[in-house]
Amino acid sequence: MLICLTETIFGFNGRGDSMFKPWMLAAMEDEGYTDTSDGCINRLAKYLANSPNDTIDTAEFRSACIACNVNPNSFTQNDLDKLQRKLNKLARER
């Protein structure tokens, strides 16, 4: 399971329910503003998409993880596959 190093940003209104609508949470996750696995992957992908390199080595990956407050040791193969798909999508959009 992917572990982000920051606390989640979900706000609660004291009654135990979120003050955000589901579509708001989805948009925040897509932009990398949440600490869910997908949110962390999206945040990291947006950071790495600005790399001038065609390939990303281990040192650059670990550095990007630290910059994005994501534990680089917590990535599973599934997480890395999702990251690769997100990077490919961002490259096509450029």
pLDDT per residue, tens digit, the chain (94 aa), is 444 444 444 444 445 556 777 777 777 767 766 667 888 899 999 999 999 988 899 999 999 999 988 899 989 999 999 999 999 999 998 7
What phi and psi values does residue 32 have, to the nearest 5 degrees? 85, 20
- The whole-number pLDDT of residue 6 equals 40
CA distances from 68 to 2, 24, 36, 62, 92 (A): 13, 21, 13, 10, 23
Q: Are 10 and 25 in contact (CB under 8 A)?
A: yes
Token pair of 26 as six digits: 């989805």
pTM comes to: 0.70
